[in-house]
Amino acid sequence: MRLASLMTIATLFTTTAACAIDEQVDAEEVGPLEDDGPPTQSELDGYGKADWFGVTSPETWRRFWYASNYYSLKAPIEAAVPRPDHASAHTILLIPGTTIGPEFFDPMAARLRRDGFDVVVWAPADLFTESLEIGAQRIAAKVQDVLASRNKTKLSIVAQCDAGVAARFFAQVNGGHKNIDQLVTFVSAHHGSQAAPIGAWVTGWQALNDIKPNSAFMKKLNGASMPAGLKLTSIYSCNDEYMYPYTTSRVTGATNVEFCNRYVSHFSPFWDAVLYDRIHVTLRGEAAGAPLWY
């Protein structure tokens, strides 16, 4: 295997650094990072340096990813296109994945608010580095909190990477579909990643055990029937740096949307305007004629 591939896999291992599993589901969450300007070169050089066989703080990796993608996240967004109102849920819960903070959703949240949605961005305190089944329970608690605060019965969820896997578990296994209008996941390993077994062997981290192909977690998730009425869209890219293989994102019974001709990386869905438009029409309930391949 090429050194570059090994380094990519090593990065995948460290981005899922985990804390000890706490069986108590808590309501703790993290807020967005304070924007103190563009990163310095020393910050880029210093964040995220880790021994392949060591455990790094998820917060360190969060800051590294943010610094590395700062300019893309801060780029201006386009003007709104006038559209009539729609009958779908207007409240949207945005959930970033492992070691990614809520600040990554700034571009998408700005577009959604511009387009008339009520947006909540949320990340649990562990940044999805613990058990994804516990992550699903934390999503359930947050959904109930958001619905109660707005006196609503349904919302839509847009979730990235492992948060998308946990959100699907919440919807498909734990009965959360009853409170979901649209569930959109992007760059999520719904059948596990082939890199995970090596990472689990090296680290023993539960998050990596969960995303092993054919793990107990994956068998439970993919053995569950698709609930009637669950509207699930999975968006993925042939050029994803961390999904092995990228087809792991395809879900039977879901609307699977593939980006291959248009280059989309693991992180660019947060700010890509074309991918946002695909999410937007889905959230509006108007995706019946939308493309499945880009």
Answer whether residue 214 is part of any domain.
Answer: yes
Query: What pLDDT score was predicted for residue 2?
Result: 32
- Work out the pLDDT band at 209, boundaries 50, 70, 90: confident
pLDDT higher than 80, residue 148:
yes
Compute the distance between CA of residue 192 and CA of residue 211 in angstroms, rounded to an integer: 4
Number of domains in the chain: 1
Answer whether residue 238 is part of any domain.
Answer: yes
Calculate what percentage of the chain has a pLDDT beyond 90. 69
In this prediction the pTM is 0.88
Structure tokens at 266: 């693991």
Answer whether residue 252 is part of any domain.
Answer: yes
Average pLDDT over residues 264-288: 97
Domain that holds residue 152: 3-19+43-283
pLDDT higher than 60, residue 10:
no
* CA angle 36–41–46, rounded 5-degree value: 90
Average pLDDT over residues 215-230: 96
pLDDT higher than 70, residue 217:
yes
Query: What pLDDT score was predicted for residue 72?
Result: 97
- Work out the pLDDT band at 199, boundaries 50, 70, 90: low
Beta-carbon contacts of 17 under 8 Å, excluding residues fewer than 6 positions away, are: 55, 56, 57, 58, 61, 99, 129, 203, 205
Query: What pLDDT score was predicted for residue 13?
Result: 41
Q: Which residue has the higher pLDDT, 62 or 270?
A: 270
Answer whether residue 289 is part of any domain.
Answer: no
Answer whether residue 150 is part of any domain.
Answer: yes
Residue found under tokens 């969820």: 157
- Work out the pLDDT band at 15, boundaries 50, 70, 90: very low
Indicate the DSSP class of residue 267. Answer: S
CATH code of 234's domain: 3.40.50.1820
SS3 of 24-55: the string is: CCCCCECCCCCCCCCCCHHHHHHCCCCCCCCC
Query: What pLDDT score was predicted for residue 56?
Result: 58
Average pLDDT over residues 154-181: 98
Residue found under tokens 């945005």: 94
The answer to whether the beta carbons of residues 149 and 224 sit under 8 Å apart is no
Average pLDDT over residues 185-214: 83
- Work out the pLDDT band at 203, boundaries 50, 70, 90: low
- Work out the pLDDT band at 44, boundaries 50, 70, 90: low
- Work out the pLDDT band at 238, boundaries 50, 70, 90: very high
- Work out the pLDDT band at 227, boundaries 50, 70, 90: very high
Answer whether residue 294 is part of any domain.
Answer: no
pLDDT in tens, 62-114: 898 999 999 999 999 999 999 999 999 999 999 999 889 999 999 999 999 99
Answer whether residue 241 is part of any domain.
Answer: yes
Answer whether residue 35 is part of any domain.
Answer: no
